[in-house]
Amino acid sequence: MKPVRIVMNGSRGRMGRAILALAQQDAAFDVAGEVDQGEALEPTLANADVVIDFSHASVTPAVTTACAAAGCALVIGTTGHSDEERAAIKLASARIPIVFAPNFSIGVNTLFWLTKKAAEILGEPFDLEVVEMHHKLKKDAPSGTARHLAEILCETRGWDYAKDVRHGREGMVGERTDREIGMHALRGGSVIGDHTVVYATVGERIELRHIAESRDTFASGAIRSVAWIVKQTPGLYDMQDVLGLRD
């Protein structure tokens, strides 16, 4: 079987370097191109099966357009997208298969699944909060993973992310309402990624927590998604699909 030909966009970033290191050790993959800021993606696509994008959300529309035109599958690991940038991903997925995930860790994706199940079981009496912490160089807040956790909770409760997620609290905000999810983003040091979902009611509290200790956990998940996406038809997928966790 021929190796899957990969182009890494964002090749000199922390995640790009980690993914390339794993891909270069595996005979199932061939690194066909490495692209970073200021370099053109299009010339590398003629020899590519999949583009892995860990660059910046602002370039997502250009990346999706180029991949769709070349017929290359796409794995997107950047976060912090605007509604317009998310729309560009959706549009391109009509022509090519795309894995778009806020986090590629197998453990975090298990957390996504558990978050939904716990919210379904515990129900309305439990207040919901999300707390995340990352290194001080992270540019977007909350993290894409924390946002997705809140989106899962909103979907389970039938709530709206834009209206019902409260980003931090300050001053005389009054009592906590029955319809809100607190979102809290911490930044400092070299923390790779901590995420906690809190379910609290009178007399008891449950916390689901994931702690990332190495970027290799994300890189290995991204590589796994590459092997999966090349076998798929055009559409928009995430790691729940890759791991077979979709209900």
Per-residue model confidence as pLDDT tens digits over 74-112: 999 988 889 999 999 999 999 999 999 878 989 999 999
CATH number attached to the domain at 106-212 = 3.30.360.10
Given the DSSP bridges, would you call strands 193-201 and 127-134 parallel, antiparallel or unpaired?
Answer: antiparallel
Q: What is the C-alpha separation between 193 and 32, in angstroms, rounded?
A: 30
CATH topology of domain 4-104+215-242: Rossmann fold (3.40.50)
Q: Would you state the pLDDT for residue 46?
A: 92
Catalytic-role residue among 81, 116, 134, 184: 134
| Contacts with 182 (C-beta within 8 Å, 6 or more apart), sequence order | 128, 129, 130, 166, 168, 169, 176
pLDDT band with cut points at 50, 70 and 90 for residue 240 = confident
How many other C-beta atoms lie within 10 A of the C-beta of residue 12?
14
Closest by CA to 212, choosing from 98, 58, 104, is 104
Catalytic-role residue among 2, 90, 136, 138: 138
**CA atoms in the 13 A half-sphere facing the CB of 173:** 10
User: For residue 51, what are its two tokens?
Assistant: 């583009």
Q: Would you state the pLDDT for residue 215?
A: 82
Handedness of CA 79, 81, 87, 91 (dihedral sign): negative
Q: What is the C-alpha separation between 59 and 65, in angstroms, rounded?
A: 10
pLDDT band with cut points at 50, 70 and 90 for residue 245 = confident
Contact 211, 14 (CB under 8 A): no
Contact 116, 157 (CB under 8 A): no
Contact 64, 40 (CB under 8 A): no
Residue 138 falls in the annotated catalytic set? yes
What are the residue boundaries of the structural domains of the chain, listed by start? Answer: 4-104+215-242, 106-212
The phi and psi torsions of 199 (rounded to 5 degrees) equal -115, 115
Q: 207 to each of 156, 196, 231, how far by Cα in Å?
A: 17, 7, 37
Q: Any idea which residue has 């549009």 for tokens?
A: 91
Per-residue model confidence as pLDDT tens digits over 169-202: 999 999 999 999 999 999 999 999 999 999 999 9
Q: What is the C-alpha separation between 113 and 105, in angstroms, rounded?
A: 13
Residue 195 falls in the annotated catalytic set? no
User: For residue 214, what are its two tokens?
Assistant: 């190495």
User: Does pTM surpass 0.85?
Assistant: no
